[in-house]
A = this chain, B = another copy of it.
Amino acid sequence: MNIGTASEKTGLPAKTIRYYEEIGLLSPERADNGYRDYSANDVHRLRFLQRARGLGFSVEECRQLLSLYGDKNRESADVKAIASAKLVEIDRKLAELAALRSMLSHLVSHCHGDDRPDCPIMDELSGRSGMQ
């Protein structure tokens, strides 16, 4: 499949897809005419990248996560260590997103006046319990 189709299927701009190839995140085949030819697996990787990047994971983190799937030579303990570390981070992100959600939802449902409400939204928004 051509890059345009891959772009549609993943929501990533073609430019970004080429960039991801340039930095070694995937290696699509080339057709005889020189066009990139994306497999279903390539699309999976790209879709994953689209999601993980949007969730605040760096490109290097994405590379690690992708390697969990793709690298057949990797030791099982190694896989587990990386995956476990990411799990902790994901749980933190989940909690932060939930806090943000509750703050916004509060704002939508309670603050209907013509002016800024007095409720200390910032407390929730910046995390009542000390972070890190």
- A contacts, CB < 8 Å to B: 11, 41, 43-45, 47-48, 51-56, 65, 68-72, 74-76, 79-80, 83-84, 86-87, 90-91, 93-94, 96-101, 104-105, 107-108, 111-116, 121-123, 125-127, 131-132
Q: Offer 12 A-B interface pairs, CB within 8 angstroms, sorted by A.
A: A44-B126, A45-B126, A47-B126, A48-B125, A55-B93, A55-B100, A56-B56, A76-B112, A76-B113, A80-B107, A87-B108, A93-B97
- A56 surroundings in chain B (CB, below 8 A): 53-56
Given contacts A47-B126, A76-B111, 19 further A-B contacts (CB under 8 A): A43-B126, A44-B126, A47-B127, A48-B125, A53-B56, A54-B56, A54-B96, A55-B55, A56-B56, A68-B121, A71-B116, A76-B113, A80-B108, A83-B108, A87-B108, A90-B104, A91-B101, A93-B97, A97-B97
